[in-house]
Amino acid sequence: MIDPQLFTDSAINKYITSSGYESIVLGDVETTPIGPEYLEIFDQGKIHVVKSVYISGGMSGYEDHNFPAFNAAAEKFRKQGLFVYNPAENPIMDSWEAYLCEDLQSVCKADAVVVLPRWRESKGAKLEVFVAQNLKKPVLDLETLKPIKEQTCLEEAMRLVNGPRQKNYGPPSKDFARTALIWSAVLQKKLKEGCMIDPQEVGWMMVGVKMSRETNERKPDNLTDAFGYLMCIEKIQRETEIG
Beta-carbon contacts of 26 under 8 Å, excluding residues fewer than 6 positions away, are: 12
Report how far Cα 200 is from the mean position of its chain's Cα atoms: 29
Residue 218, SS3 per DSSP: coil
CATH number for domain 4-141, candidates 1.10.287.110, 3.90.1150.10, 3.40.190.10, 3.40.50.10400:
3.40.50.10400
Burial of 30 (0-12, 13-18, 19+ CB in 10 A): buried
pLDDT digits (tens, 9 = 90+) for 41-67: 777 677 878 899 999 999 988 899 999
Within the chain, which residue ranges are assigned CATH 3.40.50.10400?
A: 4-141
Q: Count other C-beta atoms under 10 Å from residue 239's C-beta.
A: 14
> Using CA atoms, how far apart are residues 129 and 141, in angstroms rounded to an integer?
11
Q: Which helix (H) or strand (E) covers residue 200, if one does? A: helix 199-216
pLDDT digits (tens, 9 = 90+) for 81-102: 899 999 999 999 999 899 999 9
Q: What is the pLDDT of residue 153?
A: 76
- Cβ contact 40:2 at 8 Å: yes
* pLDDT digit string (tens) for the chain, length 243 residues: 334 344 333 332 333 333 333 333 333 444 444 445 777 777 767 787 889 999 999 998 889 999 999 999 999 999 888 999 999 999 999 998 999 999 999 999 999 999 999 888 888 998 999 999 999 999 999 988 888 877 677 777 887 788 767 777 888 999 999 999 999 999 999 998 889 999 999 999 999 999 999 999 888 888 889 989 999 999 999 888 775
